[in-house]
Amino acid sequence: MPKDAVDLAAKLSSFSQYWSPKVVARLNDYEIKVVKLSGEFVWHKHDDTDELFFVIEGELTIRMRDGDVHLRSGQLFVVPRGVEHCPVARGEVHAMLIEPAGVVNTGDAGGPLTAEFDDSLA
Amino acid sequence: MPKDAVDLAAKLSSFSQYWSPKVVARLNDYEIKVVKLSGEFVWHKHDDTDELFFVIEGELTIRMRDGDVHLRSGQLFVVPRGVEHCPVARGEVHAMLIEPAGVVNTGDAGGPLTAEFDDSLA
């Protein structure tokens, strides 16, 4: 029985909402998500976990209190646990996120950009 | 202080060995590795963990006893724990691997393709 690869671009083409990560695969107790970003998110942190950002398309800045990191296609950055950060997308950005299951996108900040859990693409 | 993104293509351009994964970043107790593949690896499994393959460049087949998966650039597959698999690269393939720290590339099979741990690019 042939098995299916997970095509990130195909998954991303199936929805249009920004700041709404979708689980596309699982790795032990971690989730692999794709997300579309546009403009500035909210400052927040995750006290219990690191968070991996991998840029598929576009240009993403991750602001942090002690310095920013700039990411473009094919680049990744791991935000350490407990570090306040604010993703800022120049135009539209397509990214992959990897983190343990159950992490909420807005971390400790909450608010209107908090996304519902969505594994309908997994 | 500006921080550095991890550029996967740049990391891959810095070495030439095949089947020798290099750690480029850490995510909690997981390692993010890049690897160059060519030809056929060995059949093996990892009894304690899933293993994520993400193809950056080239065409990779992951053979499994009950079916193969074919991956090209921008596609990923998670080999479930305990599932025997044999990666086969058509020509040269550049890939990212994600798995818990300490996983050995040849799993239960061992043998001459077993790679030394290498985090000199992290």
- Domain ranges for chain B, please list them: 8-100
Q: Would you state the pLDDT for residue B2?
A: 55
The alpha-carbon gap from B6 to the nearest alpha carbon of chain A, in Å, equals 5
Res A94 pLDDT > 70: yes
Rounded to 5, what percent of chain B is helix, strand, coil? 5, 50, 50
Superfamily of domain A8-100 in CATH is Jelly Rolls (2.60.120.10)
Q: Cα angle vertex A20, ends A18, A21, to 5°?
A: 125
> What's the whole-number average pLDDT of chain A?
96
Model confidence over A2-54: pLDDT tens digits?
579 999 999 999 999 999 999 999 999 999 999 999 999 999 999 999 999 99
Tokens of B14: 């810095």
Q: Would you state the pLDDT for residue A3?
A: 75
Q: What is the ipTM of this complex?
A: 0.95
Spatial CA neighbour of B105 closest among B31, B4, B20, B40: B20
Q: Quick check: A6 and B75 CB within 8 A? A: yes
The alpha-carbon gap from B33 to the nearest alpha carbon of chain A, in Å, equals 12
Q: Which of A26, A49, A56 sits opposite B78 (nearest CB)?
A: A26
Confidence of residue B1 (pLDDT cuts 50, 70, 90): low
Q: Which of B5, B30, B68 sits opposite A77 (nearest CB)?
A: B5
